[in-house]
Structure 1
Amino acid sequence: MWLARAGVAPLTPPRPRTAGERPPLAAARPEVWLCRAHGPALRDLTHELLRDLLATYLDCRREQVPLRLESGQPPAVAAPWQGLPLSISLSYAAGVGAIGLCAGAVIGIDLAEVAPLPDWERVAGLYLGPQAVQQLAALDDAPRNHAFAAAWSEMEARSKCVGVGLEEWSAARARRLASSSILTATAALPPQPDGRMLVLTVARAPLPRPAGRDQP
Structure 2
Amino acid sequence: MMELAVHAWPGPVPVLRDGLFVIGVATSTQRAQAREQLRSATRAALAAVLGVDADAINIDSTPGEAPRIKLAGGKRAIGCSFTHDEGYALAAIYLHGAVGVDVMKVQDIQDWDNVARDYLGPQVCAALLAAPASKQATEFARAWTRHEAWLKCHGRQLSEWQAGDEASIGVALRGLPEGLVGHLAMAGAN
Same-fold call, TM cutoff 0.5 = yes
**One-letter amino acid of the counterpart of residue 184, structure 1:** G
- The equivalent position to 2:16 in structure 1, one of 17, 21, 25, is 25
Distance 2:75 2:63 in 1: 28
- Choose between structure 1 and 2: higher strand proportion: 2
Match of 2:130 in 1: 138
**One-letter amino acid of the counterpart of residue 186, structure 1:** A
Is the Cα contact below 8 Å between 2:107 and 2:138 reproduced in 1?
yes
Deviation of 1:151 after TM superposition, in Å, equals 0.4
Deviation of 1:162 after TM superposition, in Å, equals 1.5
Pick closer, same or farther for the CA change 1:191–1:161 going to 2, 3 Å: closer
Is the Cα contact below 8 Å between 1:189 and 1:199 reproduced in 2?
no
- The range that moved more, 147-156 or 105-114, is 105-114
Aligned residues: 186
Match of 2:172 in 1: 186
Is the Cα contact below 8 Å between 2:70 and 2:76 reproduced in 1?
no
Name the larger-Rg structure. 1
Deviation of 1:134 after TM superposition, in Å, equals 1.9
Is the Cα contact below 8 Å between 1:189 and 1:200 reproduced in 2?
no
TM-score (norm 1): 0.74
CA deviation profile, 1:32-86 (whole Å, cap 9, x unmatched): 1001123223222111101222333454433332321234432112239x99742
- The range that moved more, 28-37 or 56-65, is 56-65
**One-letter amino acid of the counterpart of residue 15, structure 1:** A
- Listed as ranges, the matches of 1:1-216 within 5 Å are 11-19=1-9, 20-25=11-16, 28-40=18-30, 41-79=33-71, 85-172=77-164, 174-175=165-166, 178=168, 184-187=170-173, 189-192=175-178, 197-206=179-188
Q: Which runs of 5+ in 2 are unaligned?
A: none
Percentage of pairs with the same residue: 24
